[in-house]
Amino acid sequence: MKVTVDEDRCCGAGTCVLLVPEVFDQREDDGVVMLLEAAPAEGFHAAVREAANVCPAAAITVAETA
Amino acid sequence: MTSTVETSPAGVPDFPMERAAGRPFDPPPAARAKQEESALTRVRLWDGSTPWLVTRYAEQRALLSDPRVSADIASPGYPSPAPLPKDGGSRISFILMDDPEHNRLRRMVTAPFSMRRVGAMRPAIQQIVDDLIDELLAGPRPVDLVDAFALPVPSLVICELLGVPYSDHDFFQDNSKVIIRRDAGPEERMAGHAALTGYLDRLVGEKEAHPADDLLSGLAVRVTAGELTRAEAAQMGVLLLIAGHETTANMIALGTLALLEHPDQLALLRESDDPRLVASATEELLRYLNITHNGRRRAVVADIEVGGEVVRAGEGLILANDIANRDTSVFDDPDRLDLTRDAHRHVAFGFGVHQCLGQQLARLELQIVYSTLYRRIPTLALAGDLADIPFKHDGSVYGVYELPVTW
């Protein structure tokens, strides 16, 4: 799995951090998403997909790799 | 109170619709019936206009994420919930703007509402809640829970975060109430808004001279740096002050009433100290009660094919999140309050880039209240009959005006 985030689209709602704080965080100065782990461990895959699903700004993209 | 639908001669139902008698926690049955029929349907507003009511979860999310949909109240076709003042009135800051301006202003106030910064407020919020419960227990019974607890909790929290003196709470709570009352006249609402704006304008001015460690001081620094006008800063302050307490206060009082009416669910919360249950209970109450019951409002700026219809540029959209949260394609048995279900996909905070900025703060406040109040007052009970409780049918945010409780 490869995760990318679009900082320009992010609206800082924090829904991704709520679901997977191991993979997502927010910048201290403006609350915009920070990707902590672009290739998260398998145990986080379902939660990361859900974070992309509920992101209100569609700022998270998940590419499934073999 | 009846559950019948007023229908205009053309057969288009009036909106907002009425809840059924004796079902104060459920959305209007007529809206649910429309949802079963189709994803989009026409409704008639106070001004005779006939925007689309978007009834289903999937279509609401798609439209709220679509760049061809505008949140700008000045866009042609925008379905205004009430008459606007003759001069168009002042916008309540960035919630009624589109990107890029919306994004520029929202980012200036996003950091204090991040997961991490909100999490750091936990001990302070727990203290506020504990102190107010101490006062409740030491005071007379019955007591109005709205006045003595539900309103002071979020009001104290947002005042602390913004840097607004809580001692002024009578002034800003009275003016907030007028602004969000659906049946208040345009002049009355504008006067309330002007009073609050003037108050915040003075506060920002004071913080330009003497900045402290709070959100308004952060805005004041930007005013001094020329990134923002003081008027814009004051508008944002008004938005955050109103949004910061009217919403959470209603979730506390209405949530408590819903739990008292579902004693088996209340027992789950009272008897558990599992933070996962408290978290799922909070999401479920947000879903089930969905207090922003007038729908999200938008205007279409370019034709969009959606849900078997084409919505045209210049038409209005009302995205009814209350019924989206009862959509059977997303939530099993949606009319059942089930604190153990996974309700996190709810749209009680809206969807798209305007989704509630303060949602992590609201979650934390509600989690602390729901996990503390019923454990500390295990015999909490309604003092009187449900039938006598005054519900905010006329409010842009649903809830109860009063909640007499005893123990």
pLDDT (tens place) for every residue of chain A, 66 residues total = 999 999 999 999 999 999 999 999 999 999 999 999 999 999 999 999 999 999 999 999 999 975
**At B264, which amino acid appears?**
D
- pTM equals 0.95
Is the minimum CB–CB distance between A1 and chain B shorter than 8 Å? Answer: no
Per-residue pLDDT of chain B (407 residues; tens, 9 = 90+): 444 455 555 689 999 999 999 999 999 999 999 999 999 999 999 999 999 999 999 999 999 999 999 999 999 999 988 877 655 555 567 888 999 999 999 999 999 999 999 999 999 999 999 999 999 999 999 999 999 999 999 999 999 999 999 999 999 888 888 887 767 788 888 898 899 999 999 999 999 999 999 999 999 999 999 999 999 999 999 999 988 888 999 999 999 999 999 999 999 999 998 999 999 999 999 999 999 999 999 999 999 999 999 999 999 999 999 999 999 999 999 999 999 999 999 999 999 999 999 999 999 999 999 999 999 999 999 999 999 999 999 888 999 999 999 99
For residue B67, give the chain A residue with the closest CA.
A57
CB within 8 Å: B111 and A29:
yes
Integer Cα distance of B163 and B330 in angstroms? 40
CB pairs under 8 A between A and B: 72
The residue of B110, B346, B366 whose CB has the most chain A CBs within 10 angstroms, and thus the best one to mutate to test that interface, is B110
List of long-range contacts for A39-48, beta carbons under 8 Å, 24+ apart: A39/A1, A39/A2, A39/A3, A40/A1, A40/A3, A42/A1, A44/A20, A45/A1, A47/A19, A47/A20, A47/A23, A48/A1, A48/A3, A48/A20, A48/A23
**A17 in B contact zone (CB under 8 Å):** yes
Which residue does chain A place closest to B344, by CA atoms?
Answer: A54
Please report the pLDDT score of residue B3 as a whole number.
Answer: 44
- CB of A38 within 8 Å of a chain B CB? The answer is no
Q: Test A17 with B359 for CB contact under 8 angstroms.
A: no
Q: Is B157:B361 a contact under the CB 8 Å cutoff? A: yes
Beta carbons of A56 and B357 less than 8 Å apart: no
B261 C-beta neighbours (distance < 10 Å), count: 14
Write the CB contacts of B258 (distance below 8 Å, at least 6 apart in sequence): B25, B285, B288, B289, B337
What helix, strand, coil percent values describe chain B, rounded to 5? Answer: 50, 10, 40
Q: Do A58 and B356 touch (CB under 8 A)?
A: no
R_g over Cα of chain A: 11
In one-letter notation, the amino acid at residue B297 is: R
> Is the CB of A54 inside 8 Å of chain B's CB atoms?
yes
Per-residue pLDDT tens digits for B386-400? 999 999 998 889 999
DSSP B44: B
Cα separation of B96 and B116, whole Å?
27
Specify whether the CB–CB gap between B300 and B77 falls below 8 A: yes
Q: What is the pLDDT of residue A58?
A: 96
The three-point CA angle B94-B98-B101 to 5° equals 65
The alpha carbon of residue A48 is apart from the nearest alpha carbon of chain B, in Å, by 14
Q: Name the minimum distance, in Å, from the CA of B334 to any CA of chain A.
A: 19
Contact A33/B at CB under 8 A: no
B108, B116, B349: residue with CB nearest A26:
B116
**Residue A30 in contact with partner chain B when CB distance is under 8 A:** yes
**Closest chain A CA to residue B218:** A29
pLDDT of residue B179: 81
Helix crossing, B152-162 with B359-376: angle to 10°?
140
* pLDDT in the model for residue A66: 57
> How many Å lie between the alpha carbon of A4 and the closest alpha carbon of chain B?
18
